[in-house]
Amino acid sequence: MATTETLRNWSGNYTFRASAVHRPETVEQVQEVVAAVRGGEAGRVRAIGTRHCFQDLADTTGALVSLSRLEPTIELDEVARTVTVSGGTRYGTLAEHLHARGWALHNLASLPHISVAGAVATATHGSGDSSANLATAVVGLELVTADGSLRTLTRADPDFPGAVVSLGALGVVVRLTLEVEPTYDVAQEVHTGLPWDAALANLDAVTSSADSVSLFVDWTGDAVQQVWRKTRVVPGERHELRTELFGAAPSPVKLHPLPGIDPVNCTDQLGVPGPWHDRLPHFRLRYTPSNGDELQSEYLVPREHAVGAIGALRGLSDRITPLLQVSEIRTIGADDLWLSTAYGGPRIGLHFTWLQRQAEVEALLPAIEEALAPFEARPHWGKIFANTGRDLARLYPRMEDFRALVARSDPGGVFRGPFLERHVLLG
C-alpha cells in the first residue's frame, strides 16, 4: 500500500516531491507496483535505498519505491566466490555477514550505512590506487523493468557495462551478485602535518604507501592536516608501523577527520590490525555517521591531472574554506562501466563535506567547476554539483550508448526523473 508521507534525504537538505511512497516487502510486490504504472508524469517510478544522496537523483513526480523493507537476502556461494544480496542491504550488514563466514569484499566506502544497490548505481567508491569502485564487484544483477517483468544481466551480456552504473534509469535493482575474496585484516594509521610541497612532489608515493589512502585538508596553510592509511594484513601477522611519511608524523591518538570532534564514531586507528570491515570505512556502522547536518560534493579527475587540479582548488581556498567542514583527496582504480566516474582510467577524487549552507555552496560550485574544467572533472552522480542542465556527454565516451540502452529498456520513460532529464537523457 502506498503512503503520502513526506520523505527527506539522509542529511535533511532535500525533500522528495514524489506523490506516493511504496514499501514493498517482496520482489513480487515491486513488480506489481511497477506494472501498475501507466506512463505520464504521475506514472513514473524511482527507487530509493538509504537516501544518502544530496539532490534529486532518485526523485520523481510519480511514486517512490523504497527498498528498505525488501525481503533480506544474503546468499554466499563459496565455490563461485560470490554473494547475492537484496538491493536494499546495507554494506555494513553484508560485510559483517561475510566476515563471520571467512569472506570479504575488495573495498568499502567511507560509510558502511549505504545500500548496495544505491552505491552501485552511482559508482560510489572507496580509496586505493588499485581498488576500483564498488560497482566493479558486480557480476550479475536482477531488476524489475518497465513492464514489471524481471531481467537478469551478467557480465556475459553486452548491456552489462551500461546497466551496472545506471542511475536507476533501467529499472528497480532488487538483487545483485558480487565477487568476494577470503577475509583479511587491515591496519589503519593516521599521520598529521604532511607539508603540501612534499605531498604534491611525492603524491604517487603517498597514495601508494598503503592499500587505501585519504588526505584530509581544509585548503589552508602549508600542510595536509591528516593522512589516513589503511594497509591489508594477513590475519595473525604483525604490522610494521610507519614512523614518518614525507615529513608527516604518526598521530599518537585516535583522530576524527574534523578537528575537535570526538573520534568515537570513527574506525580504529593506531596501526592495530583488525577485520577489514572495521577499518576500511572511516565511520562505524553502529554510530550515526559523519558530523550530522552536511552537504557533499565530489569531482573525479584523471590521475595524470591530480597535481594541477589540487593546485586549482588551493587557489580558491579563500572561497572554499569558510563553507567547508573538510575535504578528502583519494584515488580510485579504472573500470569499464559506461557511466562510472572512473571509466577509462584511474581517477583522483576531490571530495567536499560542506556546512549546510546550501545557497552559498551552490553559488560557489560553478567557480569550482570552472577551475576544474581543464582537468576533465566528472561530478559524483549522488552529490551536489552546479545545476546548469548541461550535457555531460563529453565527459563520458559511452553516453550515447547508454542513452540508446535506456531507450530500448524503458521506451515509455517509466524510470525517468528530473535529474536524468537535466543531465543524462536530455528531454
Domain ranges of the chain: 74-183, 185-379
Q: Is 283 left (phi over 0), alpha (psi -120 to 50) or beta?
A: beta
Question: What is the distance between the alpha carbons of residues 148 and 151, in angstroms, rounded to a whole number?
Answer: 10
Q: Read off the C-alpha cell for 246.
A: 614525507
Please compute, for residue 193, the number of CA atoms within 13 A of its CA located in the half-sphere on the CB side. 6
On the question of pLDDT at 340 being above 80, the answer is yes
Question: What is the distance between the alpha carbons of residues 27 and 249, in angstroms, rounded to a whole number?
Answer: 52
On the question of pLDDT at 400 being above 70, the answer is yes
Question: What is the distance between the alpha carbons of residues 147 and 193, in angstroms, rounded to a whole number?
Answer: 56
- Overall average pLDDT of the 167-178 stretch: 97
The reply to whether domains 74-183 and 185-379 share a CATH topology is no
Q: Are 156 and 146 in contact (CB under 8 A)?
A: no
Angle 306-314/358-372 helices, nearest 10 degrees? 140
Which position has the grid cell 608515493? 205
Q: pTM for the complete prediction?
A: 0.95
Q: Read off the C-alpha cell for 291.
A: 558530523
Residue 48: phi, psi to the nearest 5?
-130, 150
CATH 3.40.50.11740 describes domain 185-379: no
Give pLDDT, residue 238.
86
Q: What SS3 class is residue 281?
A: coil
Give pLDDT, residue 41.
57
| pLDDT one-digit tens code per residue, 116-159 | 999 999 999 999 999 999 999 999 999 999 999 999 999 999 99
Q: Are 349 and 328 in contact (CB under 8 A)?
A: yes
Residue 250: phi, psi to the nearest 5?
-70, 140
Question: What is the distance between the alpha carbons of residues 386 and 379, in angstroms, rounded to a whole number?
Answer: 9
Give pLDDT, residue 38.
66
- Overall average pLDDT of the 64-88 stretch: 94
Q: Are 220 and 315 in contact (CB under 8 A)?
A: no
On the question of pLDDT at 213 being above 90, the answer is yes
Question: What is the distance between the alpha carbons of residues 227 and 303, in angstroms, rounded to a whole number?
Answer: 18
| pLDDT one-digit tens code per residue, 191-206 | 999 999 999 999 999 9
Q: Looking at domain 74-183, which CATH architecture does it have? A: 2-Layer Sandwich (3.30)
Q: Are 276 and 99 in contact (CB under 8 A)?
A: yes
The pLDDT mean for the chain works out to: 93
| pLDDT one-digit tens code per residue, 90-100 | 999 999 999 99
Which is more confident, 318 or 259?
A: 318
Q: Read off the C-alpha cell for 146.
A: 518497465
Name 351's bridge partners: 298, 328
Question: What is the distance between the alpha carbons of residues 270 and 231, in angstroms, rounded to a whole number?
Answer: 12
DSSP track, 19-46: SEEE--SSHHHHHHHHHT--SSGGG-EE
Give pLDDT, residue 157.
97
Give pLDDT, residue 1.
58
On the question of pLDDT at 389 being above 90, the answer is no
Exposure pattern of 73-87 as b/e (b: 16+ CB <10 Å)? beebeeeeebbbbbb
Question: What is the distance between the alpha carbons of residues 358 and 137, in angstroms, rounded to a whole number?
Answer: 34
